Amino acid sequence: MILAVAAPVATALYMNMKKYILIFGLFLLVAACRQQDAAPVPSTWEEMVAAGSNTTVHLMMWQGDPFINSYIQQFVKPRVKELYNIDLQVAGGQGNQIVSLLMTEKEAGKRSSAIDMMWINGETFYQLRQIDGLYGPFTDRLPNAALVDWNNPFIGIDFQQPIEGYECPWGNVQMAIIYDSLLTPQPPLTMEALQQYVQENPGTFTIPNDFTGMTLLKAWLIALAGGGDALDGPFSEERYRKASALLWEYVRSLQPYMWKGGKTFPDGPATMHKLLANGEIHFSMSNNDGEVDNKVLQQLLPPTARAFVFSSGTIQNAHYMGIAQGAPNKAGAMLVINFLLSPEAQYHKLQPAVWGDGTVLDRNRLPEEWQEKFNNVPGRTYAPQRSAIDSLALMELAPEYMIRLFDDFRKEIIEK
């Protein structure tokens, strides 16, 4: 896309340079005129409510799931309007687009950002911390933060990096493999069983070349390094080299039997869900263990779809809401985030018919009536129960592991 735009632009510039320089100059002038400093953040919650009410909050988030979009548009938006008269404006954009936007704003010297808050995961948190793009610490200012167990490592630590109040947990998920029980009555629960299955059923398994695929590889890397906390802590070149040698050996043993002969890999879970629904492959995957329910209810997957977690474990992590360092309306963003963290919003989100996203609230800290409600959420139909897979949860590794896996998956598998 960049090049499709860049090429004609370059040619046009080449042909009509002066005109474009003039337009660009005018653009810079207009941009400079729009520059404004962000308002100071109030110190007490009462002042926060006063400052954030009757304002507009700009949220940037991934909008690829109709259930999630509906949760925001039909539930969150009206409620924050009702509670604080906040006009929540949602713009589409995920990880790399958020990072690019904030990076470009910083590089252009813009003090006030176009967005106030954004939905991020560990990958984006790591990048935004690198460029100092996040405002914080702010979570201790939120009254509902008292309902969160910040000592839970799956919440308080993101990619082995303490969150230190720079992002607020919104949901908690664990990676699961999705399959069609009609095609695969007995799913392979171990890496060895998967190897055997793939060899007996060639073309039915693949790994997406994206964050989800790398998350699966990370879980396998941990298993091959000894399991559990074998790779916890800062990145270790030596430990990575040893474990990754075994990992590539394993993946290479699957490669000739993978979808398209292991010569190409899907770009993400959405493509894999489609391939699974078409019967082209037998396994899809998601970072959200509850996604199978969500996709069956959307009729993207058949009602025979189910999900499992490898006995060697899969990565569990939280996803978060962050506030841009240059957010013009930090008070409004905090009111919205505090609402997202409320038992009301978390409970609504937990229901599979709404979204099916795991809560980040500690049930023991909830008022009694809410405890009862959370304990009686309509059960998941197609996904494994959370209690059954909690013991198989693995921590996210240090970010460098992800960087290396992306590079080496290309070098060792795709380009070989």
Partner 1 sequence: MISAAYSLLYSLGLTGLLSQGWTLTYWQQVVTDGNIWISLLYSLAIALSAMGISLTAALYLSLRHKAALQQKTTAYLLFLPLGIPAVVAAFFTYQMLAPSGLLSRVSYAWGLSESAAQFPSLVNDSLAIGIVITHIILAIPYFTVLFNNIYLSENVADLEQVSNNLGSTRRQTLRVIVIPLLLKRAMASIVMFLIFVMGSYEIPLLLGVSDPRMLSPLIADKMFRFDLTDKPEAHAMLLIYLLSVIAINLFVLKRTRLYAS
Residue ranges in contact with partner 1 by CB under 8 A: 1-11, 13-14, 17, 21, 24, 96-97, 99-100, 103, 106-107, 123, 127, 130-131, 203, 209, 211, 260, 263-265, 267, 275, 278-280, 399, 402-403, 406-407, 410, 414-415
Between the two ends of the chain, the Cα-to-Cα distance in Å is 27
Of 27 and 388, the one with the shorter C-beta distance to partner 1 is 27
* Neighbouring-strand partners of residue 116: none
- CA dist 238 and 21 (Å) reads 52
Of 220 and 259, the one with the shorter C-beta distance to partner 1 is 259
Of 77 and 319, the one with the shorter C-beta distance to partner 1 is 319
Of 87 and 280, the one with the shorter C-beta distance to partner 1 is 280
CB atoms within 10 A of CB 36: 10
Residue 7: CB minimum distance to partner 1, A = 5
62-65: which pairs have CB atoms within 8 A and are 24 or more residues apart? 62/92, 62/93, 62/94, 62/95, 62/119, 63/90, 63/92, 64/94, 64/270, 65/294
Residue 240: CB minimum distance to partner 1, A = 15
Residue 187: CB minimum distance to partner 1, A = 21
Of 65 and 280, the one with the shorter C-beta distance to partner 1 is 280
Residue 333: CB minimum distance to partner 1, A = 22
Pick from 175, 119, 118: nearest CA to 291: 175
Q: 167 and 318 in contact (C-beta within 8 Å)? A: no
Residue 18: CB minimum distance to partner 1, A = 10
- CA dist 416 and 409 (Å) reads 10
- Tokens at 19, concatenated: 């005109």
Of 79 and 404, the one with the shorter C-beta distance to partner 1 is 404
CA dist 5 → 25, 57, 92, 96 (Å): 20, 31, 20, 19
**Helix (H) or strand (E) run with residue 395 in it:** none
* Neighbouring-strand partners of residue 172: 318, 358
Of 16 and 56, the one with the shorter C-beta distance to partner 1 is 16
Residue 44: CB minimum distance to partner 1, A = 34
At residue 316, the 3 state secondary structure works out as: strand
Of 131 and 377, the one with the shorter C-beta distance to partner 1 is 131
Of 284 and 346, the one with the shorter C-beta distance to partner 1 is 284
Residue 275: CB minimum distance to partner 1, A = 8
Residue 117: CB minimum distance to partner 1, A = 21
Residue 2: CB minimum distance to partner 1, A = 6
- CA dist 325 and 143 (Å) reads 21
- Tokens at 30, concatenated: 């207009």
Q: Helical H runs in 34-184?
A: 45-52, 66-70, 77-84, 95-107, 122-130, 153-156
